[in-house]
Amino acid sequence: MTRVFSAMQPTSDSLQLGNYLGALVEWVKLQETHEAIYSVVDLHALTVAPDRDVLTRRTRVTAAQFLAAGVDPDRSLLFVQSHVPQHAELAWVLSTFTGMGEAGRMTQFKDKSAQVGESGTNVGLFTYPVLMAADILLYDTNVVPVGEDQRQHLELSRDLAQRLNTRLGEGTVVVPEPHIVKATAKIFDLQEPTKKMSKSFSGPKGLIEILDDPKKVAKNIKAAATDSDTVIRFDPEGKPGVSNLLTIYSAFSGRAIDQIVADYEGKMYGHLKVDLAEIVVDYLTPIRDRAMEWIESPERLDEVLAQGASKASAIAQVTLDRIYDRLGL
């Protein structure tokens, strides 16, 4: 069966709506047709130097939200990256296959290091895409669901895979293909609707967080930035704020954007926001409740993650043995 791998960093106390609509919904669908492997990539999160307790907590709440969203541990593998030591081992090998210039062209590193300044950055942030390539290649992954922001990184994974196969022989690793998540699943910041909603970069009022208090979710939606014109129309260029709300409305109600626009003809933004707040809160409530159940049963959560790590490690070791053997290690 075709194998899919995807992962998220434990970089916040709650996932945001973009993580859910842009990634998790797709993960849950993909496990119907693929052999799915999903990971909470805590080693990646070290690049932002989190406190010990914060990192531990965020790793668990992130896994809990994957499960709450519908990742099924009886069907898919779910594990924490640091529990499978092969990730760090293969990352080292791949770093010796990666050109300095090649790594230096990664735009996400350029953006992130520009934000924090040279003194605030670290080598881990620079080699982050190499660790990501290891995450993917260890599992003979066929497809990787990626948003636009991760395309360049996946391209590097593909280049590295091809290079390994050239230097070490065909069949060393599988060259992964992107599975492009449709653009309609892209969610923007509620306050700055030309920027993507992001747990790392959005301010508290720009976010809709899965585990947030419903009152705050509703409040943020009602306070979302819209333009001074009052027409409810889908126009991502001209009216990014209203268009973002319509995208979210459509995703959660299952109704086409055109229908929604027709329904709100002649109405004000306030109407749309009040209704949307209710729709989003209703949708997220059971997800939040299920996540809280997982968070409040740590033994059950640890058991799922331990089983996932053990199965993942068995797969990863086969790949690593093959690569080490071909390298002469």
Contact 139, 322 (CB under 8 A): no
Give contact residues for ligand ADP (rule: CB under 6 A).
Answer: 8-9, 11, 16, 18-19, 22-23, 147, 149-150, 185-187, 196-200
Indicate left, alpha or beta for 99 from its phi (over 0: left) and psi (-120 to 50: alpha).
beta
Please answer whether residues 37 and 139 qualify as being in contact, where contact means their C-beta atoms are separated by less than 8 angstroms.
yes
Sheet architecture: strand order including 143-146? 77-80, 35-40, 3-8, 143-146, 177-180
CA distance 25 to 23: 6
Q: Of the two residues 16 and 226, which places its CB atom closer to ligand ADP in the complex?
A: 16
- Any binding-site annotation on 81? no
For Na ion, what does the binding mask look like between residues 189 and 228, x meaning CB under 5 A? -----------x----------------------------
Q: Classify 27 as helix, strand or coil.
A: helix
Instruction: Specify the 3-state DSSP secondary structure of 194.
Output: coil
Considering the complex, state which of residue 22 and residue 50 has its C-beta at the smaller distance from ligand ADP.
Answer: 22
Residue nearer to ligand ADP on the CB measure, 42 or 89:
42
Q: Which helix (H) or strand (E) holds 263?
A: helix 257-263
Q: How far is the CB of 44 from ligand ADP (least distance, A)?
A: 9
Q: Cβ of residue 45: shortest distance to Na ion, in angstroms?
A: 9
Whether residue 164 contacts residue 97, with contact meaning beta carbons closer than 8 Å, is answered with: yes
80 phi, psi to nearest 5 deg: -100, 130
- Interacting partner of 196 out of ligand ADP, Na ion, none (Cβ under 5 to 8 A depending on kind): ligand ADP
The verdict on whether residue 47 carries a ligand-binding annotation is: no
User: Cα(111)–Cα(186) distance, rounded to whole angstroms?
Assistant: 19
| Binding partner of 186, given ligand ADP, Na ion, none, CB within 5-8 angstroms per partner class | ligand ADP
Rounded-to-integer distance, Cα 161 and Cα 155, Å? 10
Q: Could you tell me whether strands 35-40 and 177-180 are parallel, antiparallel, or unpaired per DSSP bridges?
A: unpaired
**Residue 249: how many other CB atoms lie within 10 Å:** 21
User: Which of the residues are catalytic?
Assistant: 112, 196, 199
Is there a binding annotation on residue 132? no
Query: Considering beta carbons, is residue 151 or 267 the nearer one to Na ion?
Result: 151
202 is in an annotated binding site: no
**Residue 321, annotated ligand binder?**
no
**Residue 191 CB, nearest approach to ligand ADP (Å):** 13
User: How many CB atoms neighbour CB 162 within 10 A?
Assistant: 12
Place of tokens 């996946």: 154
Judged by beta carbon distances under 5 to 8 A according to partner kind, the member of Na ion, ligand ADP, none in contact with residue 207 is: none
Of all residues in the shown chain, the one whose CB is closest to Na ion is 200
Least Å distance between CB 42 and ligand ADP? 12
**Please, what is the minimum distance in Å from the beta carbon of residue 256 to ligand ADP?**
19
Contact by Cβ (8 Å): 103, 130: yes
Could you say which of ligand ADP, Na ion, none residue 16 binds, taking C-beta under 5 to 8 angstroms by partner kind? ligand ADP
Q: Is 149 annotated as a binding residue?
A: yes
How far apart are alpha carbons 302 and 296 in whole angstroms?
A: 11
Q: Closest approach of Cβ 207 to Na ion, in Å?
A: 13
Q: Specify the residue, 73 or 193, whose C-beta has the smaller distance to ligand ADP.
A: 193
Annotated binding-site ranges: 9-11, 18-19, 135, 147-149, 187, 196-200
The site for Na ion (CB under 5 A) is made up of 200
Annotated binding-site ranges for ATP: 9-11, 18-19, 147-149, 187, 196-200
Annotated binding-site ranges for L-tryptophan: 135
